[in-house]
Structure 1
Amino acid sequence: MNNEITTEVLAKAIDETKDTVQNKNIGSKLRLDISNKKQDYQIINKAASDEDSQLNAMAIAPIVNGT
């Protein structure tokens, strides 16, 4: 069974939470709904052109068994 998440599916899940992510700090937890399955992720890094602009990039990692 292939558990790979396509970039399109992940981008859609992130896009649905971008307003929330913009207000979260690095290290914060984020819950994404990917293919009707909720998964917790931790924000590793994020970038914007400046503090007042929209989110331009983000690095996340899945939280598995609490870590």
Structure 2
Amino acid sequence: MTLVGNNDDKQRAAAKCEQCDEIGIVQIWPDGSLQPLGQSNFCDCASPTLAVLATDLDHDEIP
């Protein structure tokens, strides 16, 4: 995942709905669950399957 920001409990990353290819930002919780950021629904799909798009960066590598 490409790290957008984090704190001790969660991280943010870009993700894509595997059904409709909509891309957005999600929060990644410590248990690995994904939640759309700033909205209740990621896309218009009834049950979206979200996939994180890239690989992790160490917090110190964030520009």
TM range (shorter): 0.3 to 0.5
Q: Which has the larger radius of gyration?
A: 1
Question: Higher relative contact order by CA 8 Å / sep ≥ 6: 1 or 2?
Answer: 2
TM-score, normalised on structure 2?
A: 0.37
Structure with a larger share of its residues in helix: 1
TM-score, normalised on structure 1?
A: 0.35
